[in-house]
Amino acid sequence: MAALPTCPNFAKKRGCASSKLRIIGEGDDFWTFHCDTCSLDWVVSKPASTERAKFRKAEETLRQQAERRRAHEKRPIYYT
């Protein structure tokens, strides 16, 4: 999974004391971030198509693992 980016103003030391970020939007090819410290909004591109495919595959694998875990937890326990 990709790491959360830092505020560009914080990275270049331009008046941002700390990088406190929120995701305020998402499209098919980008995320929109907002820095609560300096009120900057900016867009970060999502990974290229091969990276996106790997991300989606990993995401689907995690989803399937969670579903299997939930199904296993719902099974009754038999004591003998």
Query: Which pLDDT score, from 0 to 100, does residue 19 have?
Result: 83
- For residue 23, the SS3 value is strand
Low-confidence ranges of the chain (pLDDT < 50): 1
Amino acid at 61: T
Query: Which pLDDT score, from 0 to 100, does residue 1 have?
Result: 46
Query: Which pLDDT score, from 0 to 100, does residue 2 have?
Result: 57
Query: Which pLDDT score, from 0 to 100, does residue 50 have?
Result: 74
Q: Residues 42-51: pLDDT tens digits?
A: 898 877 777 7
